[in-house]
Homo-oligomer: A and B are copies of this chain.
């Protein structure tokens, strides 16, 4: 009898990483680039997407919208006439506070990968757990709002470290806040010196074009 011994080696993929790779292969097969968009609740992820996804030069976008429950954001984005798929973590996943690779995989049959070039996965609003679960994305983006305080990179460093791009949103409010933008930027630099940082306001549109350009080149 021929015996094969499989050792569980150090560095073996955990289940999430295994499934993330399977997602990645599906994305690659369709030539779809994927970004994982994260933030605290209310930082303005959906408003930013409303601003940019309607006018991406030569890129057909789609959205996978993650929420504990409801479809408020998906309904807003559907008005852009782009493919939007709702994924609720409260239905079948126990009300999870983040998306993981398996949840994304469960939604892929409903995502029109053949009709899009860029898939934005809008994660559940949370600055802790989403950072721990790769889902097969090309890049990770987080949005922080100037209404949240300068200390967030120091209190939630894993999230800031996990991202290639940090969007500092709601800059239209700066004149009404006691907020030190330079201090926030220094705090981001201290935890993730490699991150690209863009300041912007979804409300006024300031700085949004740079995000649009970043998305078309990801």
Contact = CB atoms under 8 A, between A and B. Distances in A.
A173 B170 contact: no
A73 B149 CA distance: 12
A176 B6 CA distance: 62
A68 B156 CA distance: 7
B128 A147 contact: no
Nearest to A147: B147
Interface residues of A, number: 36
B42 A72 contact: no
Contacts of A125: 40, 127, 155-156
A129 interface: yes
Interface string A30-43: 00000000001110
A105 interface: no
A72 B158 contact: no
A23 to B, nearest CB: 23
Nearest to A124: B128
Contacts of A173: 147, 173, 176-177
A124 to B, nearest CB: 7
A151 B97 contact: no
Contacts of A16: none
A155 B40 contact: no
A14 interface: no
Contact of A127 (B41, B70, B145): B41
Interface in A70-99: 70, 72-73, 95-97
Contact of A42 (B73, B149, B203): B149
B97 A129 contact: yes
A105 B134 CA distance: 32
8 contacts: A41-B127, A68-B128, A68-B158, A69-B155, A95-B128, A125-B127, A173-B173, A173-B177
Interface of A: 40-42, 67-70, 72-73, 95-97, 124-129, 132, 145, 147-149, 151-152, 154-158, 170, 173, 176-178, 203
